[in-house]
């Protein structure tokens, strides 16, 4: 198969995950903390399974600690992300995760001694400004004010970017699957930390009967995430990383198509703002994001 099939599969899988998470938050679990705890717990079980397969290979205490901490961040970033997703359209919130490469590049320069060209700085600036425009409301005096979801997504992107940097730092020393098993186990630890909160634990226990069907759906979501990671990992073996990253940045377009289709045909499941003004705003934003990332990666 051509490389772009696998490259396009990655943002498509992630888009499916985003709408499944939106469905869970709106129809099944209204508490972002509870969803984060359940998702982290299932990820932890995935991690233990991978650990059994890989033999729990010892890769050094420092590396294990960093990967476990990366896993903690993977759980805790979902809290502001779920809060934002619960308060706004999926196709308006998730594109703000494009701030992740912004933070990743900045952190890479600060901690991994990587460099950044002027062209990349311009590209990142376009992405940042576009993100603010996409997530803003117009108020008196034609001034744009970022919506509440913007600030939650900014925090989520910073935490996710930090987790990615930790994973990249350790991945130079050992295999992908071994690293992934420890990161997932860290997510399980993060889930246990959340469950240790008495109020949240009581809420989950009280709703056990209602939550049972949800565990299967959350497991499916985690499986799709792993599938997305695998297609991305395979795509970069066929073509250079910048091409894969650029294709990945079309996810907002896929989200827009999914959001429009679901709202038109299945409004009881997902309903988004598909007014002409909002559609135009999203399309302009997505074009600018693509331009920004083209400057970053090429």
- Whole-number Å distance between alpha carbons of 232 and 180: 14
Phi, psi for 146 (deg, rounded to 5): -60, 140
pTM of model > 0.85: no
**Structural domain boundaries of the chain?**
3-297
Among 132, 125, 145, smallest CA distance to 95 is for 132
Q: Strands, E, within 169-259: which ranges?
A: none
Tokens standing for residue 74: 């993977």
150-168: pLDDT as tens digits: 889 889 988 988 887 888 7
19-55: pLDDT as tens digits: 998 888 887 777 788 888 888 888 899 899 988 988 8
The confidence score (pLDDT) of residue 141 equals 47
197-247: pLDDT as tens digits: 888 778 777 666 666 777 788 888 888 988 887 787 677 667 766 677 777
Phi, psi for 137 (deg, rounded to 5): -115, 145
Calculate helix-pair angle for 78-87, 32-54, nearest 10 degrees. Answer: 140
| Mean confidence (pLDDT) of the chain | 82
- Determine contact, residues 107/162, Cβ cutoff 8 Å: yes
The confidence score (pLDDT) of residue 50 equals 87
The confidence score (pLDDT) of residue 139 equals 45
Is pLDDT of 124 > 70?
yes
193-209: pLDDT as tens digits: 988 888 877 877 766 66
């Amino acid at each position: 198969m051509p490389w772009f099939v696998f490259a396009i599969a990655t943002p498509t899988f992630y888009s499916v995950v985003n709408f499944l998470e939106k469905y869970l938050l709106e129809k099944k679990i209204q508490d972002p903390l509870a969803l984060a705890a359940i998702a982290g717990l299932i990820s932890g079980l995935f991690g233990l399974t991978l650990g059994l397969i890989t033999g729990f290979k010892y890769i050094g205490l420092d590396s294990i600690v960093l990967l476990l901490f990366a896993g903690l961040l993977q759980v805790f970033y979902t809290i502001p992300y779920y809060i934002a997703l619960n308060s706004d359209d999926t196709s308006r919130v998730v594109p703000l995760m494009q701030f992740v490469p912004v933070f990743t590049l900045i952190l890479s320069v600060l901690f991994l001694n990587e460099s950044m060209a002027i062209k990349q700085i311009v590209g990142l600036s376009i992405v940042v400004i576009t993100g603010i425009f996409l997530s803003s409301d117009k108020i008196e005096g034609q001034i744009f004010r970022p919506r509440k979801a913007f600030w939650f997504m900014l925090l989520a992107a910073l935490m996710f970017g930090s987790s990615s940097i930790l994973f990249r730092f350790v991945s130079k020393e050992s295999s992908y699957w071994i690293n992934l098993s420890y990161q997932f186990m860290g997510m399980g630890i993060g889930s246990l930390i959340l469950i240790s909160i008495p109020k949240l634990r009581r809420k989950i226990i009280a709703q056990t009967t209602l939550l049972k069907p949800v565990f299967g759906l959350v497991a499916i979501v985690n499986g799709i995430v792993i599938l997305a990671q695998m297609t991305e990992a395979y795509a970069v073996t066929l073509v250079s990383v910048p091409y894969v990253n650029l294709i990945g940045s079309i996810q907002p377009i896929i989200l827009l198509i999914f959001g429009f289709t679901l709202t038109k045909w299945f409004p009881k499941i997902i309903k988004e703002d598909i007014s002409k003004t909002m559609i135009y705003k999203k399309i302009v934003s997505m074009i600018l994001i693509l331009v920004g990332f083209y400057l970053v990666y090429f």
